[in-house]
Amino acid sequence: MSGIRHFLLALQFFTRVPVTGSLATWVGFSPQMLRASAAHLPGIGWLVGGVAALVFVAVGVGLQSVAGAFAAAVLSTVATVMLTGAFHEDGLADVADGLGGSANRDRALEIMKDSRIGAFGAVALVLALGLKFALLATLAGRGLETVALAIVGAHVLSRLAPLFLIRWLPYVGDSGASKAKPLADAISGSALVIAVLWSIPAVALLLCAHDVVHVVAALLAVVVAAGWMARLFMRRLQGFTGDGLGATQQVCELAIYLALAWQL
């Protein structure tokens, strides 16, 4: 039952799905529970990715053209943004503003805490979303089932990667103000095991629609993307922030789509 509570708490924290009333009372809350709920972040990817895949297929069936595939990519992304409240996209924009706005560590962290979006953040969002739409439209050329399974797998696996940053890097965000601080305090080995167990079926799902070479390339792309982000955060910030976790998810999701779409 504690696992169910932790999953529902993750659902409440990482999405806009309402967990209220008597259910919220039963779930409860504590910093320790929120920390444990991080193990279920890939499980949230199953929900978000599933919704995105359903929207993509529904639109793709009605709009069978290259432009239709692009429209399906846009609308499926709209669905995920509405479901998560642009949680990870906001992190990507803040990281781009902070690291692009100043070479000084303290100033970069200060910029990242500003809720206003700057030029670097806007450019990062436009480029990331444009690349995502293009890659999903490319995958749609191989069939709706192929792109649907890619969407689900990417959402799950890209949410596993940030947990390793929590495990290995120090937290350098604002401890007093950050909602992510309990998540960043520590993550146990058992929590990582649970997260990996959530993710293994996503690999099997990708193998249903893609050849082994492409799936292995996608897994390597996640490792390279997460490693690059970790190196960037250590070099520029000496650690990670909550925004950094969101940015890592976005970069890893794009890396998976790129690897799956690439003509080997």
**Lookup: tokens for 247:** 């940015």
The Cα–Cα gap between 254 and 258 comes to 6
Give 107 or 181, the one with higher predicted confidence. 107
Is the pLDDT reported for residue 9 higher than 60? Answer: yes
Is the pLDDT reported for residue 185 higher than 70? Answer: no
Cβ within 8 Å of residue 46, ≥6 positions away: 152, 155, 156, 198, 202
Q: Whole-prediction pTM value?
A: 0.94
First-to-last CA distance in the chain? Answer: 45
Give the pLDDT band of residue 23 (cuts 50, 70, 90): confident
The Cα–Cα gap between 219 and 215 comes to 6
Nearest-5° Cα angle at 208, 83 to 55: 25
Rounded mean pLDDT of 25-43?
87
Query: What pLDDT is stored for residue 264 in this prediction?
Result: 74
Report the SS3 class of residue 42.
helix
Q: What is the pLDDT of residues 134-152, one digit of tens each?
A: 999 999 999 999 999 999 9
